[in-house]
Chains A and B, each alone.
Chain A
Amino acid sequence: MMSVERILKTAILLPLLVLAFSSDREGSAQTSEKLSDPQFIADGAKLFATNCANAYCHGTGGLGGGAPQLRDRGIQPAYAFKSISNGISGTPMPAFKSMISEEQIWKLVAFIVSDAKSTPSSNPGADAGSSSTRSTPPTRLPEAGSPASSVGDEKAGKALFFDSSRPKNCSACHVFNGEGTAIGPDLSAAAANKSARDLFLSIILSRDVIESRYATIMVLLRSGDKITGVKKEEDAESIKVFDTTELPAVLRTVQKENISKIEFVKDSVMPTDYASSYTIKQLLDIVTFLKSSQTRSRVMLKDLFQ
Chain B
Amino acid sequence: MTRVRASYLSRVGFALLCAVIQVTAFARSSAAQDGNGNLTGERLINARKEPQNWATYFGAYDGWRYSSLDQIRADNVKNLTSVWAFQTGKVEGGLNATPIVVDGIMYLIASENRVFALNAETGERLWTYNYKVPRDFASPYGKFNRGVAVGYGLVFFGTMDNHMVALDAKNGKEVWNVEVEDVKKCGCNINGAPFIVKDKVIVGGTGGDSAHRGYINAFNAKTGRLAWRFYTIPGPGEPGHESWGGTEMWKYGGGSTWLTGSYDPAQNLIFWGIGNPSSDFNNSVRPGENLYTNCIVAIDPDDGKLKWYYQEIPHDAWDFDSAYESVLIDVTRNGKTEKLLIHPNKSGYVWVLNRENGKFINAWPYVDTITWVKSIDKEGKLIGRNEPEIGKPNLICPNWGGGRSWNHSAYSPRTGFWYNDGIEWCANVTVFPQEPREGRSFVAGNVDVKPPPDGPIRAHLDAFDPVTGQKKWSVPFKYPILSSLLVTGGDVLFTGDVEGRFMAFDAKNGKQLWSFSTGSGLRGGPITYSVKGRQYIAVPSGLGSIFVSSMPRTWPEAAGWPGGSAVFVFALPQGK
Report A's interface with B, CB cutoff 8 A.
49-50, 53-57, 59-61, 63-67, 69, 89-94, 121, 123-129, 131-138, 162, 164-165, 167, 171, 178-181, 235-238, 243, 246, 248-253, 255
Contact = CB atoms under 8 A, between A and B. Distances in A.
B318 to A, nearest CB: 13
B2 A89 contact: no
- For the complex of A and B, 5 pairs with smallest distance between CB atoms: A125-B391, A125-B432, A138-B248, A250-B224, A124-B432
A65 B231 contact: no
B549 A66 contact: yes
Contacts of A248: 178-179, 226
Given A90-B137, A133-B282, A236 B432 contact: no
A181 B179 contact: yes
Contacts of A126: 391
Given A125-B430, A165-B229, A250 B176 contact: yes
Nearest to B431: A125
A124 B430 contact: yes
Interface stretch (B15-23, B342-350, B439-447, B451-459): B439-447
B225 interface: yes
Given A125-B431, A171-B182, A249-B178, 18 more contacts: A49-B432, A56-B141, A56-B441, A90-B136, A90-B138, A125-B391, A127-B391, A132-B433, A133-B282, A133-B433, A164-B181, A171-B185, A235-B3, A235-B6, A237-B6, A250-B225, A252-B175, A253-B176
B89 interface: no
B138 A179 contact: no
Given A59-B550, A90-B138, A123-B430, A250 B446 contact: no
B345 to A, nearest CB: 19
Interface in B164-202: 173-182, 184-186
Contact of B549 (A50, A65, A131): A65
A138 B285 CA distance: 11
Contacts of A249: 178
Interface string B223-257: 11110010100010000000000011000000000
B434 interface: yes
A128 B448 contact: no
B573 interface: no
B550 A55 contact: yes
B552 to A, nearest CB: 6
A233 to B, nearest CB: 8
Nearest to B439: A179
B390 interface: yes
Given A236-B3, A252-B175, A60 B140 contact: no
A246 B446 contact: no
Given A54-B443, A237-B10, A251-B178, A59 B433 contact: no
B226 A236 contact: no
A92 B140 contact: yes
B435 interface: yes
Nearest to B284: A133
B6 A178 contact: no
Contacts of B472: none
B50 interface: no
B393 interface: yes
Contacts of A94: 138, 440
Contacts of A125: 390-392, 430-433
Contact of B391 (A59, A129, A167): A129
B267 to A, nearest CB: 28
B138 A92 contact: yes
Given A50-B432, A124-B432, A133-B390, A253 B173 contact: yes
A67 B142 CA distance: 10
Most buried by A among B284, B440, B549: B549
Interface string B274-307: 0000000010110000000000000000000000
B182 A57 contact: no
Contacts of B137: 90
Interface of A is mostly: loop
B209 interface: yes
Contact of A135 (B2, B433, B448): B433
B532 interface: no
Nearest to B401: A55
B7 interface: yes
Contacts of B138: 89-94
A121 B446 CA distance: 10
Contacts of A60: 446-448
A85 to B, nearest CB: 16
Contact of B185 (A49, A121, A134, A179): A179
A272 B220 CA distance: 25
B182 A181 contact: yes
A125 B137 CA distance: 32
5 contacts: A65-B550, A66-B550, A92-B140, A132-B433, A250-B223
Given A64-B553, A129-B390, A57 B441 contact: yes
A211 B311 CA distance: 52
Contact of A238 (B173, B224, B445): B173
A126 B430 CA distance: 9
B351 interface: no
A246 B141 CA distance: 30
Contacts of B2: 235
Contact of A253 (B174, B179, B181): B174
Contact of B209 (A56, A132, A133, A137): A56
B369 interface: no
Contacts of A124: 391, 430, 432, 446
A74 to B, nearest CB: 16
Contacts of A57: 140, 441
A171 to B, nearest CB: 6
Interface string B207-231: 0010000000000000111100101
Contacts of A134: 284-285, 433
A101 to B, nearest CB: 16
Contacts of B389: 129
Contacts of B226: 167, 248
B179 to A, nearest CB: 5
B7 A65 contact: no
Given A54-B446, A60-B446, A236-B3, A65 B223 contact: no
B139 interface: yes
A172 to B, nearest CB: 8
B175 to A, nearest CB: 6
A258 B326 CA distance: 42
A176 to B, nearest CB: 10
Nearest to B171: A255
Nearest to B279: A135
A125 B391 CA distance: 4
A167 B182 CA distance: 13
A69 B552 CA distance: 10
A237 B14 CA distance: 13
Contacts of B550: 55, 59, 64-66
A235 B2 CA distance: 8
B12 interface: no
Contacts of A55: 400-401, 447, 546, 550
A50 B445 CA distance: 8
A132 B550 CA distance: 32
A90 B501 CA distance: 33
Nearest to B219: A250
A180 B446 CA distance: 32
A238 B177 CA distance: 14
Contacts of B140: 56-57, 66, 92
A282 B67 CA distance: 55
Nearest to A178: B184
Interface in B132-176: 135-142, 173-176
